[in-house]
Amino acid sequence: MIGLISATAAGAAARDRLAAAWPDRTRVYDGPVGDAVRRAFAECEQLVCFLATGAVVRLVAPLLNDKASDPGVVCVDEGGRFAVSLVGGHGGGANELAREVGELLGAEPVVTTATDAAGVPGLDTLGLPVEGAVAAVSRALLDGEPVALHNDSRWPLPPLPVAPEGTYGIRVTDRLVEPSGQEVVLRPPTLVVGVGASRGAPSAEVLELIEGSLREAGLSPRSVAALATVDAKAGEPGIVEAAGRLGVPLVTYTAEELAAVEVPNPSDAPLAAVGTPSVAEAAALLGGGELLVPKRKSTASPAMATCAVVRRPARGRLAVVGLGPGARDLLTPRARAELRRASVLVGLDQYVDQIRDLLRPGTRVLESGLGAEEERARTAVEEARRGQAVALIGSGDAGVYAMASPALAEASDDIDVIGVPGVTAALAAAAILGAPLGHDHVSISLSDLHTPWDVIERRVRAAAEADLVVTFYNPRSRGRDWQLPKALAILAGHREPATPVGVVRNASRPDESGRLTTLAALDPATVDMMTVVTVGNTATRDIAGRMVTPRGYRWQTSEEGSK
């Protein structure tokens, strides 16, 4: 929860804007400001104070305890010009909150954390439990001192300025090792603990078994990603409470799923009780991985719990990112975050140039020219399979005539794939034209480089007969100058010559141009590959110079009835 505190009318107005935008995330604290800050500090994970920074410093200074547990505090000035990350930039999430508040209120986020200022990922912001000398190693990274990275699990990380050897070190491991005074240990979530238990098994017995098994195997409990069991035990209090104490989810499988898993230590007891010869080992192994701890029983008499531990292999990460039509303010925050997270960027050279300044220092860029789409897709998947965090970029939405299809055709289930939507050219063009996509519509690419023309023509005819608004991508190039006239002729067989047609070139870019014409008047020679052509349906109208397709046909009927 985010506590909101203000002292003036202007501050209250900005506070209320945040409260309205984030009703489930925020709580307004009224009353004397000092009391409000103290209550919010004790009850909330984060605070946004619409007060002077000096006043907030004096109010929160006596309340500060530990950077790992103190809430993040953001200050917004009276004029709403700046959102200052004041306390808990990383641990309390104040840096990211300042950016969110700034975006919502139109304020400039002010983040002074050294790693953020230098573009180096904070070691305590990587989403992994962290131990050791975070401040010392972070300072070494910032000062350019050699910091060695030992990534035992090949966990995908953002770019870090590391060296093969160094006085300082970063170790990514699930092994139970103590960091030295010049080392940071990051705990990847690689371990799955399968658990079986008799009815009424005490949580203390379950937890002692799990923790003891991990300790004896030299494994860190902070790398446990989940507990797993049979669905018949989904509500078993001892298992549920153990998962809660470890802070991990409880994953359940059916007896049929578990029975299909080959295990080294099957037993008749679970087969009779829940319908599978193995619970602990099978539940741990079901997602694949290496069995590190075979089935063990608790030491209680009688033993009421069993567990097994599996290490899942680290999975590379492929984010397929849509950059939007070109304008920086149409690049989504999620896309920005994925660009910052990637250690490897793969993309068309001209698209890389659009966002190169957003990449972290050290990001490896693999760029190529037009016509190498399949090569880029293969490269991105191969890099992800090597355990990298990869961003594969495309214009507009990466799933629309872009890189998502060839990438997913190459990818198997051994990597994680994340789709990041972007604003498509059709949507950007439609916003310029008015509201041409107000009713059913279709997008068709006129490029026959990968699709036979007879297939394209059949689709155009279907759209014409169905009276759909049609947006043409890749309408005309120097080597393909007859496809657009042919497609327009097909539509003209089903629509009036006065049907509105929108032509937009370089939507959202500095040399953007848009115009409204008609099906009869459009000159295909004025169109190129940077153009999107949108042809209206029989209901589309030119209203005050804007292309509008109504959501329904009632006003069309009313219009015709009034003639």
* Per-residue model confidence as pLDDT tens digits over 292-349: 999 999 988 899 999 999 999 888 999 999 999 989 989 998 999 899 999 999 999 9
- Whether pLDDT at 369 is above 80: yes
Q: Which residues pair with 548 in a beta bridge?
A: 435, 541
* Per-residue model confidence as pLDDT tens digits over 80-128: 889 999 988 877 888 889 988 988 888 888 888 766 666 777 887 788 8
Please check whether residue 123 is in contact with residue 137, taking contact to mean a CB–CB distance below 8 angstroms: yes
pLDDT of residue 365: 95
CA dist 29 → 9, 49, 85, 87, 334 (Å)? 14, 10, 20, 19, 30
Mean pLDDT on 256-273: 90
Higher pLDDT pick, 435 / 449: 435
pLDDT of residue 550: 93
pLDDT of residue 557: 52
Cβ-count burial of 5 within 10 angstroms (0-12 exposed, 13-18 middle, 19+ buried)?
Answer: buried
Distance CA 252, CA 227 (A): 8
Phi, psi angles (nearest 5°) of residue 249: -75, 155
Please check whether residue 210 is in contact with residue 195, taking contact to mean a CB–CB distance below 8 angstroms: yes
pLDDT of residue 76: 92
* Per-residue model confidence as pLDDT tens digits over 388-412: 999 999 999 999 988 999 999 989 8
Residue 201 C-beta-side C-alpha neighbours within 13 Å:
30
Q: What token pair was written down for 408?
A: 């997913």
- Whether pLDDT at 443 is above 50: yes
State the chain's mean pLDDT as an integer. Answer: 90
Distance CA 527, CA 26 (A): 50
Distance CA 77, CA 98 (A): 12
Whether the full predicted model's pTM is greater than 0.85, yes or no, is no
pLDDT of residue 554: 62
How big is the chain, counted in residues?
A: 563
Helix (H) / strand (E) containing 212: helix 203-216
Distance CA 125, CA 146 (A): 21
pLDDT of residue 200: 92
Please state, as a whole number, how many other Cβ atoms lie within 10 Å of the Cβ of residue 160.
Answer: 18
- Whether pLDDT at 562 is above 50: no
What's the sign of the alpha-carbon dihedral 487, 491, 493, 496? Answer: negative
Mean pLDDT on 417-421: 95
Q: What is the dihedral of CA 94, 98, 104, 108, to 10 degrees?
A: 180
The 3-class SS string of 449-506 reads CCCCHHHHHHHHHHHHHCCCEEEEECCCECCECCHHHHHHHHHHCCCCCCCEEEEEEC
pLDDT of residue 555: 52
pLDDT of residue 563: 43
pLDDT band at 68 (very low <50, low <70, confident <90, very high): confident
pLDDT band at 559 (very low <50, low <70, confident <90, very high): low
